[in-house]
Structure 1
């Protein structure tokens, strides 16, 4: 019963953080509020949570990584793939090497392998924390897309690197050749299992739905099970369970663009997953705040073993390590932006050079969050001999301090650095205008086919033509630029007009998905536009003759 009560307390704190965030006008990022609430809970009534690292990993990472892979903008990934790959893989290994050596040199009580594990855990950035800060800081859209793409991929690379570091701490170190082959298998096996498992399950459920009809609640439950299934299967065969969850999310994004699900399923599923993402991230930050007092107490004993006179050195160590982490990111960001993002030439043939303000903003925006917390808490409690894992409490506290430091630094520094900052223009916009025009043309074609096809309802050709006229008029006005957005009005229409509106809406949706798959329309915008169509179709389907006439 205690675990249930404690879980409810954590969820209540997450809800309270949302209310406090709105009351403060988003002046403080939500993760910081959640950490503060967790610390308040620990001061009043400590929950005493003791989670097994493996259980903690399984509970939180699969759904979070699945959701990241599902909702990441694919257009941004394609456009800035060079910069994203350089940050997501090169920066991770640069950070692991540089920060690991520095931590071991600064804190000799922390073995080198454990120092590498700490560096690997803090190397991934958190898209949720960045988004929380972006709500009150004007982050340029292209920079935000790069940061989100980096966060999607570096979750996997950082946590895989951490796996090798922990293995080295537990057993004899592996050779470089063996590590390289293992890494290739982890990446290929993990992504492959996640992608193909999701593809097979989606195809199977679509075939069942065609024959027996679609049950929205069952479809949502399947989507909830997919990341855990991919994670467990990959873990069982020795592939990367982390990448399996990411691959499942990427496959789910692709499957969503097939348009096979019913509008009700899409709307409910999106709402459920938004809630899950909010709750899972929030609980992790509240749990971090609740664990902070115990972490400080345990780490103080470790820091005294280093001959420091006061636990104040804990704060000094965190600040110094945080500055080194930021400096490493600054150096790598400067190089990656200079040689990848700014390869375009100006009219005189000189290469553009990224400004230091852009480099500093990109470096500072690499906020640590839920994945770092989840990763560091999976450190084993004991080593291979059964003794306490060396330096565990200390590195967990350092990781927690670096999360706090990155959140505070980004909250204060980004508004100053981003004021008036511009990135090189993207090669193309999100394609909304062209997609809406193409969808309108296809909607007109669908209405004409429906009008001239087999009879619908009662009445002859004249009645059907009259019923189709308001629909055709609406889309013709959209093409002419006289109207935009989705239809809304209050006139009553006949049942025959319903059929024409349905034909038009479904044609629009197919066209939007085709544009998204072709890359001419951004995924996030396509999802938003399809949601508009889904809401109109649901309103139409449930109106029984009282659907609002969009032409009026």
Structure 2
């Protein structure tokens, strides 16, 4: 099967998965449907596509990590930075040491260094998998921010631990000092490179626009290439390409706040990135499904050749390792919360109590994904002496099984753990939105009045009346934002229903306008050019209303 046919088959599977989750009579998470379709492709064509880990890292991870860093709420990221850093770095080290020792105890035939390598590669959670689960599970916002932040940062720590565990297998030695210095360089340099690439490219692009005008197609392409540039430059300098892509995305959100990009550009860019996100997310899980039949087959052969246990012991290993990961994560999260409460009391503050179900949900939500799969497939085939890498097929199988079980477990357990959970109401977002609308409306009214005065200057009476009427119509839109602010005795539910009704009626009007324009075009009463222009305006207006 040629590469182009594999790519087309995967794209068809991604498209089919989007409809299957809607058609199936029972609810299944999208990633599991895509994994199943990938396994089906491998079965139909009698083999899976040979996955090249380096190519996988380069093609799929930078844009997805870039987009996650771009869209993650920065206020939540910095507010909970303490918890995120503890999970992203402390939990990874805790998992590598604890799970490595337990895996070696559970599977004595697996050398200790190999057990540490397995523990390291299954320690980082995956932002792609976490986002996929979150799209179908009502996770509280703050919990979701912590999970997203953790998954964006723990890849570097997990991969560095994995790299040194593999080096210990290959050389038979390990240096804690060298590992610490390497980790420091990998993290700091990766973050710095990501920030520098985004700022540099954005500054150069603004200079081009100022001197030669804006070219939307080229601007979109440059935006898509930024994560690849950050990733490749970081890898060339032996830093973390993953952290560079994340930092580039976070920086892009600050670049966007300068407001130097047109609204139409933002609409186009959002549509392109949404398509990239859906496609690449789907391909990652389809690829995992394609690898599964071969991974399982090689693991069974490895168990049979060793002659130590039946192949059914693979199921025992998988369940034991997943239970081990959940328990260790639960213990670390609980201890971290206790420590946070203790620090708050020492500062004279009153710590907030976290419900037990939320703590358990954080433990179950540690979903593994693409990082684990691609990382474990980079294991060498042989050690320097020419002997096969110890337990390589078994390690790959166990890592893939952890991905599957964590996905299934989170999909089944999280809705039940979070069902009916009552959390303190957080009206901060709504207050900020109302404040922003009022301030923006005041600024808009002042700008409209200033523009009206400039337009009517030196005009005749007819034109003055025309400009005054136009200004009044525009001002009414902004005046409504100032007058409809929620009063102290106003029911929030009524305000919400009123806004929903307004949006519904406005959407009905926009749809009717579009249908009429299409009808006029079909009858030849207006040209295609005029039709496209007017419909584009309606699309932009509708996108603003949805925002």
TM-score, normalised relative to structure 2 = 0.83
Secondary structure of 1:429's aligned partner: helix
Deviations 1:332-377 (A, max 9, x none): 11122333379767xx987554343221111111111222222222
State the partner residue of 2:74: 74
Is 1:126 the counterpart of 2:129 in the alignment?
A: no
How far, CA to CA, are the matches of 1:442 and 1:371 in structure 2? 46
Check the 8 A contact 1:113/1:165 in 2, yes or no: yes
State the partner residue of 1:239: 239
> 1:458-477 residue pairs with structure 2 within 5 A?
460-477=463-480
How far, CA to CA, are the matches of 2:117 and 2:158 in structure 1? 9
Secondary structure of 2:295's aligned partner: helix
Shift of 1:50: 1.6
Secondary structure of 2:137's aligned partner: coil
Check the 8 A contact 1:53/1:380 in 2, yes or no: no
Moved over 4 A (4+): 341-345, 348-353, 423-427, 454-462, 482-490, 538-543
More helix by share: 2
Deviations 1:178-222 (A, max 9, x none): 221211111111110111111000111011112211111111111
How far, CA to CA, are the matches of 2:356 and 2:465 in structure 1? 68
> 1:49-68 residue pairs with structure 2 within 5 A?
49-68=49-68
How far, CA to CA, are the matches of 2:425 and 2:96 in structure 1? 32
**Could you say if the C-alpha distance between residues 446 and 539 of structure 1 is closer, same or farther in structure 2, counting changes exceeding 3 Å?**
farther
Check the 8 A contact 2:156/2:186 in 1, yes or no: no
> 1:364-513 residue pairs with structure 2 within 5 A?
364-385=364-385, 387-423=387-423, 428-429=428-429, 431-453=432-454, 460-481=463-484
How far, CA to CA, are the matches of 1:378 and 1:447 in structure 2? 61
How far, CA to CA, are the matches of 2:436 and 2:410 in structure 1? 36
State the partner residue of 1:197: 197
Check the 8 A contact 1:338/1:354 in 2, yes or no: no
RMSD: 2.9
How far, CA to CA, are the matches of 1:344 and 1:428 in structure 2? 22
Check the 8 A contact 1:107/1:306 in 2, yes or no: no
Check the 8 A contact 2:65/2:127 in 1, yes or no: no
Check the 8 A contact 1:142/1:423 in 2, yes or no: no
Secondary structure of 2:258's aligned partner: coil
Shift of 1:30: 0.8
Give the aligned length. Answer: 497
State the partner residue of 1:288: 288
Is 1:271 the counterpart of 2:274 in the alignment?
A: no
Q: 5+ unaligned residues in a row in structure 2: which ranges?
A: 486-497, 511-532
How far, CA to CA, are the matches of 2:166 and 2:106 in structure 1? 20
Shift of 1:156: 2.7
How far, CA to CA, are the matches of 1:98 and 1:301 in structure 2? 28
How far, CA to CA, are the matches of 1:458 and 1:107 in structure 2? 89
> 1:5-84 residue pairs with structure 2 within 5 A?
5-24=5-24, 27-84=27-84
Check the 8 A contact 2:65/2:249 in 1, yes or no: yes
Secondary structure of 2:50's aligned partner: coil
State the partner residue of 2:519: none
Secondary structure of 1:374's aligned partner: helix
Shift of 1:26: 7.5
How far, CA to CA, are the matches of 1:382 and 1:309 in structure 2? 24
**Could you say if the C-alpha distance between residues 175 and 122 of structure 1 is closer, same or farther in structure 2, counting changes exceeding 3 Å?**
same
How far, CA to CA, are the matches of 1:296 and 1:363 in structure 2? 27
How far, CA to CA, are the matches of 2:185 and 2:315 in structure 1? 40
**Could you say if the C-alpha distance between residues 261 and 457 of structure 1 is closer, same or farther in structure 2, counting changes exceeding 3 Å?**
farther
State the partner residue of 2:315: 315
How far, CA to CA, are the matches of 1:386 and 1:268 in structure 2? 53
